[in-house]
Amino acid sequence: MIENLNDLKNYTDARARRTPGIAAHVELHEPGIGADALSRLSALNLPPVYERCLRTFNLFGISLGYFSLWPDSIRSGNMSEALLQAAAGNFRGAHEATHAGLLIVAQEESNLVCVARSNDIKPDTVTLLDVMRSPTVERHCIATDFEKFLLLAGNLNDIGLRYEEDASQGMDQMDQCCRYFGCTTEQSAYWLSKAEELLL
């Protein structure tokens, strides 16, 4: 199991070595954005765990399984520019995110992965805004903070690759991950459904 950010870094390093053609898009690099870039983001009220992850890794242009770890509707620039543009965006779901006090930080295809801002009652909570599966934008809480989101996404990717021939064992592994990271019933349902899509 990928239990912490160091494990995740080692996992993406190994993936990059196995698939050098896409290494630039899958390998987490340290450090992340610096103090000057963070100061430009002060108006966004970055929550503390997400800000720490931003300082640790350069997430711009990096994918982890299903997920783009930046608002990938923004294809040029850098992470701070992407966050600012996403916050001011007019694409589907952006208005709902702003209205709910959420900051768009990543994507699952066209779905928006958001964190609750530092001034929210539950800062750092990760919410998926599903803009693909119904005419209305649906909200799903998928992790208690962005670090846990990264670790769950990393484990999902690893499980999908390792258990292609043993779906039952893979689902059990994903369930164990959800329990290990203290997922709620709603959060577990989301990650298990993603594992089911990969394995079954």
* Tens-digit pLDDT profile for residues 155-164: 999 999 999 9
Centre a 10 Å sphere on the Cβ of residue 195 and count the other Cβ atoms it contains: 24
- pLDDT reported for residue 90: 85
Identity of the residue numbered 36: D
The 3-state DSSP class for residue 113 equals strand
Tens of pLDDT, residues 107-153: 999 999 999 999 999 999 999 999 998 889 999 999 999 999 999 99
CATH, domain range 5-145? 3.40.1580
The per-residue pLDDT for 76 is 82
Place of tokens 């006090």: 101
Looking at residue 62, what is its pLDDT?
A: 97
pLDDT reported for residue 73: 83
Per-residue pLDDT for 171 more than 90? Answer: yes
- How does pLDDT run across 62-92, given as a tens digit for each residue? 999 999 999 988 888 899 999 999 999 888 8
Give Cβ neighbours of residue 188 (< 8 Å, ≥ 6 apart). 175, 178, 179
The Cα 53–Cα 57 span in angstroms is: 6
Confidence of residue 15 (pLDDT cuts 50, 70, 90): very high
Give pLDDT, residue 183: 98
| Boundaries of every domain in the chain | 5-145
Give the three-state DSSP class for 108.
strand
Tell me the mean pLDDT in the region 177-195.
98
Give the model's pLDDT for residue 89: 87
pLDDT at residue 75, rounded to an integer: 83
C-alpha pair distances (Å), 131 with each of 41, 94, 124: 26, 10, 21
Predicted local distance difference test score (pLDDT) of residue 91:
86
Average pLDDT, the chain: 95
Give the relative orientation of helices 5-18 and 146-162 as an angle to the nearest 10 degrees: 40
Tell me the C-alpha distance between 104 and 116, whole Å: 9
